[in-house]
Structure 1
């Protein structure tokens, strides 16, 4: 799908438009969640509040201007939509963002404040995406896929390069999964730069999309999606995303929605970090002992999105 060179090119392309987010050590906490050395990569401080700004901006800058003349459209659980709305501001065109019914009121309001036209359609992303694709076909608007577009995936991968620069001795990286774009991009970059690194994905119990694919050895469509975490709810990923994850990700674990909420509360209490539930997924996996990490290793958890879920 992409290579390390694609990620490096994306990093150069988007550098003037995104933030180089901090990676901080977790120290002096009252309730430790692992005996390993823990760092947090704070993509919650990224433009629009999540890593999604990386991929949407790279997609935008990779397109000819004339292709954007009729605006941009996408389907999102919230975070990708915000990134697309911001990208449309850079391009000077209108963004139409189709969101799921489960997208939080906070995300919808932020979308409107970014100037997007917001349409609420469908209970899960796959249903919402049908409406977005129809809109693109009818209007000629440029469609920005949240996870199956190589330019988007390469943009997300730039977070992996930054993380490894900040913590070169990292042994394990924990990444939340919705459709799989973030973990695909990061895994390609990280495995190319440090083949020994262990990459673990985290999915909701109610939407184990890529775990189901890995377990079956093929692309799988989930019969039911019950997670209330809109940014991580997806009934079916993309074939190339699945293959990238299959070839580069070491394992996938699942956590409950409640565990993510409790992890978001831990992040706020211990670290003063306002994370949405997807942003707390990696911490939830550590708190719930879903992953075995030796005490002498270094682990980095992606805090991939901001939100008021724990406040």
Structure 2
């Protein structure tokens, strides 16, 4: 997978996705930001997150007979929603496995899109094992959220839009679950803007890539304690690790409470309904986990929609 693959994915999925807007976080009195910060609102994307990009690209690169028995996915919520959406558009069944801590509202939305929703385990990795077994048993196509070059290429199309919309950004801050988003984006950013810095954000309770980079190889976390299902992953993929090790400048860790505060601010001051992963970029700045140099222009993502910030 490279920049050319992501360009091809962008052309392939263009008729099926939205070019989401960017908002500058000016007059954000509660955030105490010292830099110009811009957020791309993928919470307004088809299905509610950037995940539709990868799911659409994956399905559009498959022969129809590969999906005639349906699609199966394991997800913290957003990848499942994207998979259910593309399955509905293709007229095939979708079975989505969720960990037990997934958002009940996202589970209900999955059902409204016709998906068969099943719960398995307490973290994504356990739901993943159950989903793989189901896909094998019924002959469905398994939609892996990050260990799939076509999925990652689709996710990387976010960066193509961001470079065009925020041409003078110096630093990109990206939430990490399994790592598909940041790896796809980094392939674009280091090709187009080699001097740009790329900062990943993980929960302190699921430091998957942070721990792997520290070890110098992919590791499996001994436990996952974050409550953010969309960012909980015990082990990344070797191919994702290789891209992140090559392109990503740093990974910072934030508490679940930091993301909650950022989600509440996004709703209170901007009317943006972000899930906690969608608030991770801002949380890294508000919490001080990442301290950008003064004058640096920051680009981040509200990568997923949710109601967590409405409850503050």
Which bin holds the TM-score, normalised by the shorter protein? over 0.9
Is residue 2:141 matched to residue 1:142?
yes
Q: Which residue of 1 aligns with 2:297?
A: 298
Q: What is the CA distance between 1:132 and its match in structure 2?
A: 0.5
Match of 1:176? 175
Q: Is the 8 A contact 1:59 1:152 kept in 2?
A: yes
Q: Deviations over 1:20-49 (max 9, x none)?
A: 001111112222432111100111110111
Q: 1:53·1:84 contact (CA, 8 Å) conserved in 2? A: yes
1:273-292 → structure 2 map (5 Å cutoff):
273-292=272-291
* CA–CA separation in structure 2 for the residues paired with 1:298 and 1:57: 31
Q: Which residue of 1 aligns with 2:40?
A: 41
Superposed displacement of residue 289, structure 1 = 1.2
Any residues of structure 2 matched to 1:108-123 within 5 Å, and which? 108-123=107-122
TM-score w.r.t. the length of structure 1 is 0.99
User: What SS does structure 1 have at the residue aligned with 2:72?
Assistant: strand
Q: 1:294 offset after TM fit, Å?
A: 1.9
Does structure 1 residue 188 correspond to structure 2 residue 175?
no
Q: How does 1:1-311 map to 2 (within 5 A)?
A: 2-311=1-310
Q: Deviations over 1:162-194 (max 9, x none)?
A: 001001110000000000000000011111011
Distance 1:87 1:190 in 2: 27
Report the Cα distance in structure 1 between the residues aligned to 2:17 and 2:224, rounded to whole angstroms.
32
SS at the partner of 1:16?
helix
Using the TM superposition, give the Cα deviation of residue 310 of structure 1 relative to its aligned residue in structure 2, in angstroms. Answer: 1.4
Q: Which consecutive residues of structure 2, in runs of 5 or more, have no partner in the other structure?
A: none
Gaps of 5+ in 1: none
Contact 2:31 2:265 (8 Å CA) reproduced: no
Instruction: Work out whether residues 57 and 151 of structure 2, in 8 Å CA contact, stay in contact via their aligned partners in 1.
Output: yes
SS of match in other structure, 1:243: helix
On the 8 A contact 1:148/1:241 being kept in 2, the answer is: yes
Distance 1:32 1:123, change over 3 A: closer
**Matched residue SS, 2:201:** strand
Contact 1:37 1:295 in 2 (8 A): no
